[in-house]
């Protein structure tokens, strides 16, 4: 490996949770590092830092991504939704409420990633079957729950959506 | 009177017996009286003023928090067992 | 991750120049799902990331009944899988575009990147080989084209020279009654590297197999086009006997290694199993019963 | 499903957990989320080799890098003696072992062993600095397998280690990699086997597996100029952490405050210290707060796992299935320092069954792999895998239903285990019967390549110290202060027990987990003790409040305290007043009057109860095996467990489902893989294959409630035992599906294919 060279600071402009903002990042920051250490959105969790656990799942320009696999510099001009942007001033998102009602979390560290991923699922498939939920969430690891109550919560949240629609 | 279960590897101190009955209202008295019945056994169980750090004495199957001060009811069973820890479930 | 610079060229020519000037430390950033991990874990030496996602030829997906399918090398898997022409004519690409990583990976990962990464187990590569895909490369000397099966040269190695990068993947147009399929074997249900993978493309002449292309991955230093397996199928109607012959040819061609993801015996066996499974699915997609 | 009705108002209901909203909105603060002004970022330099002596460490180039503030090595930690101990729950742990694992001194004992730590102004710079710390090693041959390590000719990992006979405390003369030998014996095992009509003897192997919590370890330390040391971290045991730091750093306990952050899973792996002493020393050197987090790679290589094991089980039975003798030999890898859970394995291996004659030997063996840590029912799952696989074969041999065989031999009240202890009220038979009566067991499993397996497991549970403070607010709520870090919902289950005691709604108790200066000593969250002991402390604090509230009402009414009673419906009643009616005041009304009648009140409890009762679990699983690929799919799973009283049934179910998931992963795919030099090959979530949502079906639970008579609400620990039976249950199901016995884990597709394709190459 070559000797470490100092890296540059860069300014990145992006819309984060509906707020346009500019933030200072290191040129080698991942989006995960920038969100957590530079912006303070620590609801985005680091579980593995190589795209295998889904704890850092965010929505980038409408697509689900692992924030650890995106460079901060790449999000210039993009729109990002993190777990902090899921609830509104009116209250919790139906998925968040379903996770609470169904006891779909234990330690809670994977929960933000699951909720963001599940939201992206319901955005494209409002009434998924159990297998759809399991397949969609296969990129998110949970070690506490055995997934049972998480899958149930997503199905329940989808059901709520149907009733209120 | 309490019934002390002697682990296999300590039975050489107790003429091969697997159980020994001794008097005592606390674990300290039990160990002292056990040593009288099975000379040398206390030295194997204690380290300084306390039970060896890797051993535990159970009264009726339960390892208490009071060490040698633990009360021993009449007719109790005492087991000498390795001290072991749990894991955690979350 | 070591210190890196980030560049976002606005033309193919600018990208070529950046890569050429940057030398070995300059890398093309497409989906980043492999590159960023390799760089972060310092398994490769990289000091310049050339983000090609602003380049239209690298992100576009086009279909023309005469020219076939052109997939920009940086087009993410989810866009490939959602493209109507891919869904209609190239379901084999959907097989792999929906299998590479989970949903969040598919939001970024590209088939071009998967090919360039040149992993022996890359899940995008056998399908590209089976489909007869041409890989369009831009470089300091202009454009050139390489067949997908010629592109990888060993684990993590490919034919790209200094300043070169892949612009697009061109799959030929559907040719009469044809079908293709990709399958892989992984120990879990998702989120795994293939122990073995395979893809098969079949073109039928009447009830006979006119032409067959069989590719297997993770059984050699690079994904293989197994000509003997194709030959075993071509010229005769599909039967259990020809399927088994093709599977046997795939097993024979396999030169796998023992590693933590699988054994020689297991991989060789799976090459046959997966090739047979792909043949059946490809035939079904072509509308030919087994 | 829950099998019983309970006479409670709060216990047994399913309120929303108090910390839930913060966790579903991303606001909850986990250890790595902390940011302090001027904070530095630390990283650990680790050994690339599994065994070697450290010849030289040169940090000068790292220290010269702009932004680097300090480097530390083992020289910055006090040297600890082998027989200096620090408390860890009911056991004590050698400070020399702790210190040696935290940072290598003179010798590295496993790949990933910490050799130095560095801190810098930016995490990237700290990472750059790692490559600039030069370490020179003299490589030694690694010892990677317990059987090799036990040979007299094996290279010694620790020249000063002599095998210690557990019962006698005596050490062998020659040094050895075998740290301890345990023996448990009951009856006459030779005579027992002589009596048997059938004797089966089999040997089983399992590999190291990791707890697999999603949150990597982290610690932030600030060593103040006045000597006060502040620690923020994700730990299962704040007070244990404090005491261990005091021992390791030779710093007074009174000068250390550990503030628990939310913890992203532990399963036993977040009890031990790793980063905290390093962050503390780096902070002392720099005068700045230092945050350290592990990468996932480091988590795999240098924390956890639990032991790889080799277990020999011999069972003797009469023709009717009655077990008459059992012998077991358990060899557990300790990793690079003593301390495998083999003693617990010895304690658990035959205890679910009543067997009159037993002899069990256990060996704690050093190998050049990471030092093992507790993992959910430590030591028991591998032991159950061995015993219940042989039980399955025995049932087959004797043509008995596998549950009937276990029922015939089930431990009941009064049954003794090999250490002499007799069971009290237990639910062993109840679990077996619950499974036998379940729709799953009564259903017929149809289709080719499918099989059904059953297994029955045991765990003993722990008690230990807990404290609770409960202060009544004027609005009729109660602030409950706890010392147990909440990993899986214990704030809820403890608050519910206080609410039950006070007769108020669960939502009116507001629990908070606080630092070590703010609550009385509270032991580890582990051993399935937290809902048991924390709940008991909360109950006692509630009783204290009831008494004080009654006294206050008496004072208001001008009557004697003895005349006033706190009813279970949260109404305080006293003798008839002037109007002739019974005086009464509700808890809420009285809460509003406290300030003006003598002040607010606080209930307190420091409780230490040893009567944690054992639990049993019977698991039933259907699998399908793909004969072409060897892949095992779990089709259906039902787990019945004696849970004592289910305080919050949803979280009890969650504990069971989580334990099953980990157990299925252990059975089918999870394992540490090392190359011949002892380097871990699969240190990522990609290649260490934990189950994903696609790998599991819904997991049915049957909560069998056999209340613990030693707890005010009948609580038994529920978190540990669910990981005990799955290994054997899955192996037995795969046997049923394929006809092959799997005596080694994991039963990975490659391993299955190996059996299905014997002739092919």
Closest chain C residue to the Cα of D669, Cα to Cα: C187
Using alpha carbons only, give the angle D359, D363, D369 rounded to the nearest 5 degrees.
Answer: 150
Instruction: Please judge whether D662 and A143 are an interchain contact, meaning their C-beta atoms are less than 8 angstroms apart.
Output: yes
What subunits make at least 3 CB pairs under 8 angstroms with A? Answer: B, C, D
A2 at C interface, C-beta within 8 A? yes
Instruction: Please judge whether A99 and D657 are an interchain contact, meaning their C-beta atoms are less than 8 angstroms apart.
Output: no
Instruction: Please judge whether A36 and D25 are an interchain contact, meaning their C-beta atoms are less than 8 angstroms apart.
Output: no
Instruction: Please judge whether D90 and B63 are an interchain contact, meaning their C-beta atoms are less than 8 angstroms apart.
Output: yes
Q: What is the pLDDT of residue D290?
A: 98
C-alpha radius of gyration, chain B, whole number: 13
- In whole angstroms, what is the distance from residue D195 CA to residue D111 CA? 49
- Residue C261 with chain D: CB contacts under 8 Å: 687
Q: What is the pLDDT of residue D83?
A: 76
A165 has a pLDDT exceeding 50: no
Q: What is the pLDDT of residue D527?
A: 60
pLDDT-derived band of residue D420, with 50, 70 and 90 as boundaries?
confident
A30 at C interface, C-beta within 8 A? yes
What subunits make at least 3 CB pairs under 8 angstroms with C? Answer: A, D
Q: How far is CA D524 from the centre of its chain?
A: 10
Instruction: Please judge whether D169 and B55 are an interchain contact, meaning their C-beta atoms are less than 8 angstroms apart.
Output: yes
D148 is catalytic: no
Contact assessment for residue D42 and residue D116, using Cβ atoms and an 8 Å cutoff: no
- In whole angstroms, what is the distance from residue D555 CA to residue D597 CA? 8
- In whole angstroms, what is the distance from residue D724 CA to residue D732 CA? 14
CA distance A23 to chain D (A): 16
Q: Is C178 exposed, middle or buried (0-12, 13-18, 19+ CB in 10 A)?
A: buried
pLDDT-derived band of residue B83, with 50, 70 and 90 as boundaries?
confident
Coil vs helix vs strand at B36: helix
A1 has a pLDDT exceeding 50: no
Q: pLDDT digit string (tens) for D514-568?
A: 999 998 888 877 666 778 888 999 999 999 999 999 999 999 999 999 999 999 9
- Residue B87 with chain A: CB contacts under 8 Å: none
Coil vs helix vs strand at C249: helix
B65 at D interface, C-beta within 8 A? yes
- Bridge-based pairing of strands D198-206 and D229-233 is unpaired
The b-or-e profile of B33-55 (16+ CB within 10 A means b, else e) is bbbebbeebbebbbeeeebbbbb
Lowest-confidence segment of B12-16, D64-68, D200-204, D616-620 by average pLDDT: B12-16
- Bridge-based pairing of strands C152-154 and C142-147 is unpaired
- In whole angstroms, what is the distance from residue C207 CA to residue C238 CA? 8
Coil vs helix vs strand at D149: helix
Q: Cα-flanking dihedrals φ and ψ of residue D300, to 5°?
A: -70, -45
For the segment D636-655, the average pLDDT, to the nearest whole number, is 96
**Given strand B2-5, what is the order of strands in its sheet?**
B19-22, B2-5, B77-82, B55-59, B62-63
D4 has a pLDDT exceeding 70: no
B88 at A interface, C-beta within 8 A? no
pLDDT-derived band of residue C145, with 50, 70 and 90 as boundaries?
very high
Closest chain A residue to the Cα of C5, Cα to Cα: A27
Q: What is the pLDDT of residue B87?
A: 43
Closest chain B residue to the Cα of A105, Cα to Cα: B90
- In whole angstroms, what is the distance from residue C223 CA to residue C215 CA? 7
- In whole angstroms, what is the distance from residue D530 CA to residue D466 CA? 8
Instruction: Please judge whether A63 and C102 are an interchain contact, meaning their C-beta atoms are less than 8 angstroms apart.
Output: no
Q: Which candidate, D575, D600, D579, places its Cα nearest to that of D590? A: D600
Q: Which candidate, C262, C123, C181, places its Cα nearest to that of D630? A: C262
Q: What residues of chain A, 15 to 74, have a C-beta less than 8 Å from chain D? A: 26, 28-29, 33, 36-37, 40-50, 52-53, 55
Instruction: Please judge whether A74 and C29 are an interchain contact, meaning their C-beta atoms are less than 8 angstroms apart.
Output: yes
Alpha helices in D568-624 (DSSP H): 587-593
Q: Beta-carbon neighbour count of residue D580 at 10 Å?
A: 6
Q: Is D13 exposed, middle or buried (0-12, 13-18, 19+ CB in 10 A)?
A: middle
- Pick from C1, C37, C104: which is nearest to A65 by CB? C104
- Pick from C1, C189, C266: which is nearest to D753 by CB? C266
Q: Beta-carbon neighbour count of residue D170 at 10 Å?
A: 13
Positive or negative torsion for Cα C134, C138, C139, C141: positive
- Residue B90 with chain A: CB contacts under 8 Å: 106-107, 144
HSE at residue C121, side-chain half, CA atoms within 13 A, is 18
Alpha helices in chain A (DSSP H): 31-33, 94-101, 111-124, 130-136, 148-164
Coil vs helix vs strand at C200: strand
Q: Which candidate, D223, D49, D61, places its Cα nearest to that of D144? A: D49
- Bridge-based pairing of strands A9-16 and A79-81 is parallel
Catalytic residue among D190, D589, D720, D760: D720
D380 has a pLDDT exceeding 90: yes
Q: What is the pLDDT of residue D170?
A: 85
Q: What is the pLDDT of residue D759?
A: 67
- Pick from A41, A109, A134: which is nearest to D693 by CB? A134
- In whole angstroms, what is the distance from residue D362 CA to residue D379 CA? 11
The two structure tokens encoding residue D293: 């987090």
HSE at residue D29, side-chain half, CA atoms within 13 A, is 10
Using alpha carbons only, give the angle D493, D496, D502 rounded to the nearest 5 degrees.
Answer: 150
Closest chain A residue to the Cα of C53, Cα to Cα: A74
Residue D605 to residues B31, D465, D470, D497, D587, Cα–Cα distance (Å) = 31, 10, 9, 14, 20
Closest chain A residue to the Cα of C4, Cα to Cα: A28
Q: pLDDT digit string (tens) for C41-95?
A: 999 999 999 999 999 999 999 999 999 999 999 999 999 999 999 999 999 999 9
Q: What is the pLDDT of residue A2?
A: 38
What subunits make at least 3 CB pairs under 8 angstroms with B? Answer: A, D
**Cis peptide bond upstream of D343, omega within 30:** no
- Residue C191 with chain A: CB contacts under 8 Å: 52, 138-139
B14 has a pLDDT exceeding 90: no
- Residue A140 with chain D: CB contacts under 8 Å: 692-693
A4 has a pLDDT exceeding 50: no
Q: Which candidate, C132, C251, C106, C259, places its Cα nearest to that of C194? A: C259
Q: pLDDT digit string (tens) for A56-92?
A: 999 999 999 999 999 999 999 999 999 999 999 999 9
B86 at D interface, C-beta within 8 A? yes
Instruction: State what percent of residues in chain D have pLDDT above 90.
Output: 87
Q: pLDDT digit string (tens) for D269-320?
A: 999 999 999 999 999 999 999 999 999 999 999 998 999 999 999 999 999 9
The two structure tokens encoding residue D667: 């059975």
Q: What is the pLDDT of residue D486?
A: 87
Residues β-bridged to residue D182:
D362
Enter the pTM of the model: 0.95
What subunits make at least 3 CB pairs under 8 angstroms with D? Answer: A, B, C
Q: Which candidate, C128, C118, C64, C134, places its Cα nearest to that of C95? A: C128
Residue D569 to residues D109, D175, D215, D480, D500, Cα–Cα distance (Å) = 60, 65, 42, 20, 9
Q: What is the pLDDT of residue B86?
A: 46
Give chain B's end-to-end CA distance (angstroms, integer).
Answer: 42
The two structure tokens encoding residue D635: 């089709």
User: What is the crossing angle of helices D276-286 and D238-249, to 10°?
Assistant: 60
pLDDT-derived band of residue C290, with 50, 70 and 90 as boundaries?
low
C248 at D interface, C-beta within 8 A? no
D730 has a pLDDT exceeding 70: yes
């Amino acid at each position: 490996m070559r000797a470490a060279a100092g890296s540059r600071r860069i300014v990145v402009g992006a819309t984060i949770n509906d707020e346009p903002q500019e933030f200072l990042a290191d040129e080698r920051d991942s989006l995960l590092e920038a969100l957590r250490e530079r912006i303070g959105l620590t609801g985005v969790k680091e579980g593995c830092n190589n795209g295998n656990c889904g704890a850092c799942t965010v929505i980038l320009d409408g697509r689900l991504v692992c924030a650890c696999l995106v460079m901060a510099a790449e999000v210039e001009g993009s729109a990002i939704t993190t777990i902090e942007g899921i609830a509104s001033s009116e209250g919790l998102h139906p998925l968040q409420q379903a996770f609470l009602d169904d006891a779909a979390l234990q330690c809670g560290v994977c929960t933000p990633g699951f909720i963001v991923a599940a939201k992206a699922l319901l955005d494209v498939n409002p009434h998924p079957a159990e297998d759809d939920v399991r397949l969609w969430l296969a990129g998110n690891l949970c070690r506490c729950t055995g997934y049972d109550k998480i899958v149930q919560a997503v199905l329940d949240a989808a059901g709520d959506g149907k009733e209120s629609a | 009177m309490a019934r002390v279960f002697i682990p296999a590897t300590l039975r050489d101190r107790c003429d091969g017996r697997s159980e020994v009955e001794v008097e005592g209202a606390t674990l300290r008295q039990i160990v002292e009286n056990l040593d009288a019945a099975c000379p040398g056994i206390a030295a194997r169980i204690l380290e300084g003023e306390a039970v060896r750090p890797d051993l535990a004495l159970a009264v009726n199957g339960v390892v208490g928090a009071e060490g040698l001060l633990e009360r021993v009811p009449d007719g109790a069973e005492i087991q000498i067992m390795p001290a072991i820890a749990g894991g955690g479930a979350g | 991750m070591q210190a890196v610079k980030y560049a976002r060229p606005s033309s193919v020519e600018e990208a070529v120049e950046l890569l050429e000037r940057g030398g070995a430390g300059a890398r093309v950033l497409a989906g980043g799902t492999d590159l960023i991990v390799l760089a972060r874990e310092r398994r490769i030496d990289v000091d310049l990331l050339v983000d090609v996602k602003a380049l239209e030829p690298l992100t576009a997906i086009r279909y023309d009944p005469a020219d076939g399918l052109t997939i920009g090398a940086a087009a993410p898997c989810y866009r490939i899988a959602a493209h109507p022409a891919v869904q209609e004519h190239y379901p084999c690409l959907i097989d792999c575009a929906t299998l590479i990583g989970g949903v969040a990976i598919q939001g970024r990962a590209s088939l071009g990147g998967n090919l360039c990464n040149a992993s022996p187990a890359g899940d995008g590569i056998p399908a590209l080989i089976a489909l007869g895909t041409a890989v369009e490369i831009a470089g300091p000397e202009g454009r050139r084209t390489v067949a997908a099966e010629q592109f990888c040269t060993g684990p993590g190695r490919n034919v790209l020279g200094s300043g070169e990068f892949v612009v697009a993947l061109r799959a030929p147009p559907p040719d009469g009654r044809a079908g293709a399929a990709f399958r892989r074997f992984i120990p879990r249900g998702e989120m795994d590297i293939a122990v073995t993978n395979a893809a098969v493309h079949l073109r039928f002449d009447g009830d006979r197999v006119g032409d067959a292309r069989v590719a297997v991955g993770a059984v050699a230093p690079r994904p293989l086009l197994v000509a003997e397996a194709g030959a075993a199928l071509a010229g005769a109607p599909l039967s259990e006997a020809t399927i088994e012959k093709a599977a046997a040819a795939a097993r024979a061609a396999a030169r796998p290694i023992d590693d933590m993801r699988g054994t020689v015996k297991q991989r060789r066996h799976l090459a046959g199993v997966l090739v047979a499974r792909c043949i059946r699915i490809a035939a079904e997609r072509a509308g030919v019963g087994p | 499903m829950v099998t019983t009705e309970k006479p409670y108002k709060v216990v047994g209901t399913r309120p929303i957990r108090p910390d839930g909203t913060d966790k579903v909105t991303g606001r909850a603060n986990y250890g790595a989320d902390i940011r302090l002004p001027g904070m530095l970022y630390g990283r650990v330099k680790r050994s690339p080799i599994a065994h070697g002596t450290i010849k030289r460490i040169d940090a000068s180039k790292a220290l010269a890098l702009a932004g680097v503030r300090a480097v530390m090595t083992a020289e910055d930690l006090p040297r600890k003696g082998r027989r200096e101990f620090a408390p860890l729950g009911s056991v004590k742990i050698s400070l020399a072992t702790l210190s040696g694992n935290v940072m290598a001194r003179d010798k590295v004992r496993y790949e990933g062993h910490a050799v130095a730590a560095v801190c810098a102004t930016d995490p990237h710079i700290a990472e750059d600095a790692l490559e600039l710390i030069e370490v020179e090693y003299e490589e030694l041959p690694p010892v990677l397998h317990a059987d090799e390590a036990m040979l007299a000719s094996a290279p010694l990992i620790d020249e000063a280690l002599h095998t210690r006979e557990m019962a006698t405390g005596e050490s062998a003369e020659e040094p050895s990699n075998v740290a301890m030998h345990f023996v448990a014996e009951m009856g006459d095992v030779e005579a027992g086997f002589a009596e048997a009509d059938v004797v089966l003897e089999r040997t089983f192997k399992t590999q190291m597996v990791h707890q697999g919590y999603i949150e990597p370890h982290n610690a932030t330390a600030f060593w103040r100029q006045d000597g006060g040391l502040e620690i923020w971290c994700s730990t299962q045991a704040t007070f244990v952490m404090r005491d261990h730091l005091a021992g390791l750093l030779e710093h007074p306990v009174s000068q250390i405050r550990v503030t628990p952050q939310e913890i992203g899973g532990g399963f036993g792996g977040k009890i031990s210290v790793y980063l905290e002493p390093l962050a503390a020393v780096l902070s002392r050197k720099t005068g700045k707060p230092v945050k350290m987090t592990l990468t996932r790679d480091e988590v795999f290589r240098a924390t956890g796992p639990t032991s790889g094991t080799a277990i020999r089980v011999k069972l003797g039975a009469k023709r009717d299935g009655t077990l008459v003798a059992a012998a077991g030999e358990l060899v557990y890898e300790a990793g690079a320092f003593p301390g495998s859970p083999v003693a617990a394995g010895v304690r658990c291996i035959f205890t679910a069954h009543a067997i009159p004659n037993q002899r069990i030997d256990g060996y704690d063996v050093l190998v050049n792999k990471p030092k093992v840590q507790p993992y959910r029912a430590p030591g028991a799952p591998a032991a159950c895998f061995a015993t219940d696989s042989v039980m399955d074969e025995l049932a087959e041999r004797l043509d008995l239903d596998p549950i009937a065989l276990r029922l015939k031999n089930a431990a009941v009240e009064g049954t003794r285990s090999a250490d002499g202890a007799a069971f009290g009220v237990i639910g062993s038979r109840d679990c077996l019967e619950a499974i036998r009566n379940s729709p799953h067991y009564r259903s017929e499993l149809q289709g080719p390549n499918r099989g059904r397996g059953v297994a029955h497991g045991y765990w003993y549970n722990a008690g230990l110290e807990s404290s609770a403070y409960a202060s009544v607010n004027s609005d009729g709520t109660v602030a409950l202060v706890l010392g147990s870090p909440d990993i899986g919902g214990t704030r809820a289950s403890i608050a519910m027990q206080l609410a039950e005691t006070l007769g108020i709604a669960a939502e009116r108790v507001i629990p908070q987990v606080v630092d070590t200066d703010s609550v009385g000593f509270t032991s580890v969250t582990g051993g399935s003790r937290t809902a048991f002991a924390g709940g008991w402390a909360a109950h006692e604090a509630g009783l204290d409040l009831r008494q004080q509230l009654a006294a206050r009402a008496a004072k208001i009414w001008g009557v004697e305290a003895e005349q006033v009673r706190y009813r279970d419906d949260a109404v305080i009643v006293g003798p008839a007043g002037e109007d002739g009616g019974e005086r009464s005041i509700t808890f809420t009304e009285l809460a509003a009057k406290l300030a003006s009648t003598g002040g607010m009140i606080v209930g307190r409890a420091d409780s230490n109860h040893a009567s944690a009762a054992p639990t049993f679990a019977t698991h039933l699983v259907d699998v399908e095996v793909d004969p072409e690929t060897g892949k095992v799919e779990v089709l259906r799973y039902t787990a019945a467990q004696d849970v004592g009283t289910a305080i919050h049934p949803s979280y009890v179910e969650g504990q069971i489902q989580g334990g099953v998931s980990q157990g299925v992963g252990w059975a089918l795919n999870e394992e540490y893989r090392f190359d011949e030099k002892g380097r871990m090959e699969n240190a990522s979530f990609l290649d260490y294959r934990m189950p994903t949502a696609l790998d599991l079906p819904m997991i049915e639970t049957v909560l069998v409630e056999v209340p613990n008579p030693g707890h005010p609400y009948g609580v038994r620990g529920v978190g540990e035992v669910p990981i005990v039976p799955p290994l054997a249950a899955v192996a037995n199901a795969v046997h049923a599906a394929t006809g092959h016995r799997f005596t080694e884990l994991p039963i990975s597709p490659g391993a299955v294919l190996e059996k299905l394709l014997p002739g092919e190459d």
